[in-house]
A = this chain, B = another copy of it.
Amino acid sequence: MAPVMRRAAILAVGSELLTPNRIDTNSLAITEQLERLGLEVVYKGVVGDDREELAVAVRTAMSRVDLLVCCGGLGPTDDDVTRDVMAAVLGKPLAEDLRLVAHIQARFAARHMPMPAINRRQAMVPAGARVIDNTKGTAPGLWFDDERCRVILLPGPPRELKAMLAWSVEHLLAPHAPGLSLVRRVIRITGRTESQTEEALQPLYAKWAGQPTVVSATILASLGQIELHLSARATTLAEGESAVSMASGDVRSVLGLNAYSDDGRTLEQVVGDLLLERGYRIAVAESCTGGLLASRLTDVPGSSRYVDRAVVAYANDAKVSLLGVPVSVIAEHGAVSEAVARAMADGIRVGAGVDIGVGVTGIAGPGGGSPEKPVGTVAVAAVVPGAAKATTFRFGGDREQVKFQASQAALDMVRRLILSLPAV
């Protein structure tokens, strides 16, 4: 193995992980541990319970990285092939480890059951490999080195894997870690497209690349959500934190209010915290978002302190009877209009006797569009006594995506409205 391990790969083994219904999530927990030690995961793979495929994947990884972590395929049945494949890769025979046989027998005995014969397979160890004890199950882990790469084999069940991963971190990884910790931060952005954000941030990338502690950035965009992922590798955790904090400050000074979170908080959490901070209560009147805006606001623990009520008024007469929207405003401007959004926001605010009212009305589709107001047209209004905002958006995407983007726009409007008010 390399004296210092820098590059890592993770392989998940199991045919069920190649079906449309299952996904490998063990690699997330493993990645988190490796990044803290300063190792970089350059590659992840999933292979089925197939000797040849697994052997190719293991050999390819071992030729390219300093550390390979494999999970799965250590059970007692015929389709658990990891042990056999590793013996073949090492070119060494498997032999029964009597201490492991006793350990597995003891686990069954503790549950007053005889050990089934097939579980003996779990005590087979390739010559040259060493055992990682499993305190939560019967499948032992294994590890071995070749000249270039250390290989760690862990069982698939997450509960068993986590305990054995912690042991491996301490005994097999930490002593050989590069000590260059990777620190990450996510900045969440509204009010700009991906390319506008990229163009605005372009000059910062050059600056960050030239620093002693280099900060890297990636933009991830989906409808209604832009994230900037910053990362820095540094000899100490504190140094890394300081570099991404400075970079985050740079981003905020370029993007201003368009950057709403750099600490993992969602938009609904940011809005909730602002409402709590100012002591405001909010009420919501929705049409096309159909309850999603209220549901997102109330996803936040403690939101009952500032969410008073919400009304989903799909039918026009519900807008009139529950929200007091004047029939004449609907007749003059149409149900999807800033005037109606504004009247909905006013109506729910006054009815609830709270500080802030929000109104959303639009066409989520797929039906209901017209040439002047196509599917995706959404009017949003937010009001407080003495101030109001209203905008008409035209969102792309399907029904659920229009709903999400509209709820995102409404939350963002509330955020900007609150920030425009003088702090008490």
Contacts and interface: CB of A to CB of B under 8 A. Distances in A.
Interface of A: 15-25, 28-29, 31-32, 35, 41-50, 53, 56-57, 60, 64, 75-77, 79, 111, 113, 116, 118-119, 136, 157, 159, 184, 186, 193-196, 198-199, 218-220, 222-223, 227, 229, 284, 286, 289-295, 297-299, 301-304, 307-315, 318, 321-322, 351-352, 364-368, 394, 396-401, 403
Nearest to A199: B116
Copies in the complex: 2
Which of A113, A159, A195, A351 has the most chain B CB atoms inside 10 A of its CB? A195
A302 to B, nearest CB: 7
Given A19-B229, A43-B48, A159-B398, 20 more contacts: A15-B218, A16-B218, A42-B47, A44-B45, A76-B195, A116-B195, A284-B312, A286-B291, A291-B293, A291-B294, A291-B297, A291-B298, A291-B310, A294-B295, A301-B365, A301-B366, A304-B368, A307-B312, A310-B311, A310-B312
Chain A: interface secondary structure?
mixed
25 contacts: A20-B28, A20-B31, A23-B24, A23-B25, A42-B50, A43-B47, A43-B57, A44-B45, A45-B46, A49-B218, A53-B64, A75-B194, A116-B198, A157-B222, A159-B223, A159-B397, A290-B295, A291-B295, A291-B312, A301-B366, A302-B367, A304-B314, A307-B312, A309-B311, A312-B312
A318 B50 contact: no
A25 B24 CA distance: 10
Contact of A295 (B29, B292, B301): B292
A46 B49 contact: no
Contacts of A293: 291
Contact of A42 (B48, B307, B321): B48
B301 A290 contact: no
A49 B40 CA distance: 13
Nearest to A34: B20
Contacts of A322: 309, 311, 322
Nearest to A45: B45
Given A18-B42, A21-B186, A222-B157, A297 B308 contact: no
A165 to B, nearest CB: 13
A116 B196 contact: yes
Contact of A309 (B44, B118, B314, B403): B314
B47 A18 contact: no
A307 B295 contact: no
Contacts of A46: 43-45
A42 B302 CA distance: 46
Contacts of A195: 76, 116, 118-119
A370 B26 CA distance: 33
A334 to B, nearest CB: 15
A23 to B, nearest CB: 6
A367 B47 contact: no
A298 B314 contact: yes
A294 B309 contact: no
A322 to B, nearest CB: 7
Nearest to A281: B315
A198 B159 contact: no
B220 A16 contact: yes
Which of A79, A118, A293, A311 has the most chain B CB atoms inside 10 A of its CB? A311
B294 A307 contact: no
A388 to B, nearest CB: 22
Contacts of A304: 314-315, 368
A257 to B, nearest CB: 21
A352 B315 CA distance: 10
A31 B46 CA distance: 13
Contacts of A42: 18, 47-48, 50, 53
